[in-house]
Amino acid sequence: MRNDKIIFIGKPNAGKGTLQKSFLEGRSEEFELLSVGDLLRKARKEQTELGKKAAAYMDAGILVPDELICGLAIPALQSATKPIISDGFPRNVYQAKAMLDAGISPIVIEFYVDDNVARERALNRLICEKCGETYTLNQFHPPLVEGICDKCGSPLGKRSDDNSEVVERRLKEYQEKTLPVINFLACNNIEVHTIDTSSSNAADQLIKLLID
Ligand code: AMP
């Protein structure tokens, strides 16, 4: 293990969630996972204060305010007792600086995909309303029974932010706010690697980077 704090960065629908799941298969005991997006979706479902505050930002496809996010993510990264993968934090330079200031010095994996592929994936995505498992409407990873989660049998639906208007805004947010994080961290001596997720050996590349 090269570093026990691992940051996954990628534009919406770059495929980082899928690669993260395949990486953790058989390794879930060895790693912790911090997915800020999943925590926010859970908070919304449970109607917590955080969930209520985050909802409008998420539906608009823009970033939730930094103080809410940093208060959630930084303690989780600091208190991890195993190597931890952070999926979706930091997402702007303010958050990245707060992370470095908190003494967290991670390895970063950037998941790259072309914008048009990202758009198509977003519009084809289904998500389980109960367990969060994701599927596609196309041949890539459809559910065994239409509209039903293979894992828990609950109904599948669309994510509220997977419509073309919001997808465009999220891509723009990524370009303007998240992409500069990569440069910022690299300039602060953080190791950054890029994986092209449309490459057939993307999963092997990830294993090589994190385990070998
Ligand atoms: P995701 O599931 O990672 O695509 O995140 C869904 C939404 O949650 C984003 O569009 C943002 O509104 C919000 N979100 C997730 N991570 C962050 C973050 N690090 N900073 C601010 N907002 C976030």
Distance 42 CA to ligand 1 centre (A): 12
24: confidence class by pLDDT, cuts 50, 70, 90: very high
The per-residue pLDDT for 2 is 72
Question: Looking at residues 127-141, what average pLDDT do you find?
Answer: 88
Is the confidence at residue 125, as pLDDT, over 80? yes
* Cα-to-centroid distance, 88 and ligand 1 (Å): 6
Is the minimum distance from the CB of 88 to ligand 1 under 6 angstroms?
yes
pLDDT of 134 > 80? The answer is yes
Is the whole-model pTM more than 0.95? no
In angstroms, the CA 127 to CA 156 distance is: 5
Q: Which residue among 68, 91, 173 has the greatest number of ligand 1 atoms within 8 angstroms of its CB, and so is best to mutate? A: 91
Pocket test for ligand 1, best of 8, 58, 113 (most atoms within 8 A of CB): 58
pLDDT value of residue 67: 95
The pLDDT value given to residue 177? 96
pLDDT band at 1 (very low <50, low <70, confident <90, very high): low
Query: Is pLDDT above 90 for 140?
Result: no
Residue 139 has pLDDT above 90, yes or no: no
CB 195 within 8 A of CB 113: no
Condensed to tens digits (0 to 9), the pLDDT of residues 83-109 reads 999 999 999 999 999 999 999 999 999
Nearest CA to ligand 1 atom 12: 58
Provide the pLDDT for residue 16. Answer: 87
CA distances to 9, 118, 202 from 198, in Å: 15, 10, 7
Contacts of 200-209 with C-beta under 8 Å, sequence gap 24+, read 202/15, 202/19, 202/111, 203/19, 203/22, 203/23, 206/19, 206/23, 206/109, 207/23, 209/2, 209/107, 209/109
pLDDT tens profile 38-92: 899 999 999 999 999 999 999 998 999 999 999 999 999 999 999 999 999 999 9
| pLDDT tens digits for range 169-207 | 999 999 999 999 999 999 999 999 999 998 889 999 999
CA distance 128 to 135: 8
Q: Is 89 in the pocket of ligand 1 (CB under 6 A)?
A: yes
For the chain, the maximum distance between any two Cα atoms, rounded to a whole number of angstroms, is 48
Residue with tokens 């389980």: 128
Query: Is the per-residue pLDDT at 129 higher than 90?
Result: no
Map residue 40 onto helix, strand or coil: helix
Phi, psi (degrees; rounded to nearest 5) at 62: -115, 165
Q: How many angstroms is it from 144 CA to the middle of ligand 1?
A: 29
Q: Quick one: which of 56, 3, 53 has its CA closest to 192? A: 3
Average pLDDT, the chain: 93
**pLDDT value of position 47:** 95
